[in-house]
Amino acid sequence: MKIISFEGFEYSGKSTQIKLLKAYLKKNKIKSTFTREPGGFKQLEKIRKIILDSNFDNLTLILFFFASRFALLSQLKSNDLIFFDRFFDSTFAYQKYTAKDKNLILNLINQIDKKFIPKVTFYFKINKNTLSQRKKAVGERNNFDKKYYNQFSRIQKNYEEIGKMNLSNRKFVIIDANKDKEEIHNNILTNLKKWKLIK
């Protein structure tokens, strides 16, 4: 099992790159599975809707995210490449406000079986101006967009912090999300080939 995760702020272009990657893998007959967090299968998609439209306190959100995460991981049976649209980095980035939050989140990450730790995480780093332009064009999608948009700097710092941690030797690749989508797509393919995840 080889897991690759896509991380970053809303409107950073993750969804676009996942679509491009899906098309590439299908064209080249490379077996793969795509999932997302929160969600991933029918029951968890119901939980996803509840979470994204909720006003839960931060501790409740941390526990909800990890409960959903462990439920999803327990269902993964594929030996193919598995791509995650968000994983535990998102919980760290969005839900870490205090040292207490940090310790809880890291302790829960440590409960994840090592086989589920991504081989590579692509972090889509975007500047605030580009983010604002894309948000204006697309519009807010849920309560999370409203709540966290003004916490851009904190979330970005948290992503960079967890990216420097040694988590089972996973590779944390920073993608310049301000660039052209085709350039980003080619960068992702180059890295997947570099780490021998695709040929």
Give me the tens of pLDDT residue by residue for the chain, a chain 199 residues long.
Answer: 899 999 999 889 999 999 999 999 999 999 999 999 999 988 999 988 888 888 899 999 999 999 999 999 999 987 789 999 999 999 999 999 999 999 999 999 999 999 999 999 999 999 999 988 888 887 776 677 778 888 999 999 999 999 999 999 999 999 999 999 999 999 999 999 999 999 8
pLDDT at residue 142 in the model = 66
Across 12-99, the runs of DSSP E, i.e. the strands, are 32-36, 81-85
Instruction: Please give the model's pTM, rounded to 2 decimal places.
Output: 0.94
Whether 123 and 159 have beta carbons less than 8 Å apart is answered as: yes
Angle at 73 between CA 26 and CA 16, to 5 degrees: 40
Specify the fold of 2-194.
Answer: Rossmann fold (3.40.50)
CA distances from 12 to 56, 126, 131, 161, 165 (A): 25, 6, 7, 18, 22
pLDDT at residue 197 in the model = 96
Across 48-170, the runs of DSSP E, i.e. the strands, are 81-85, 120-125
Angle at 168 between CA 165 and CA 171, to 5 degrees: 65
pLDDT at residue 111 in the model = 97
DSSP helix/strand/coil, 126: coil
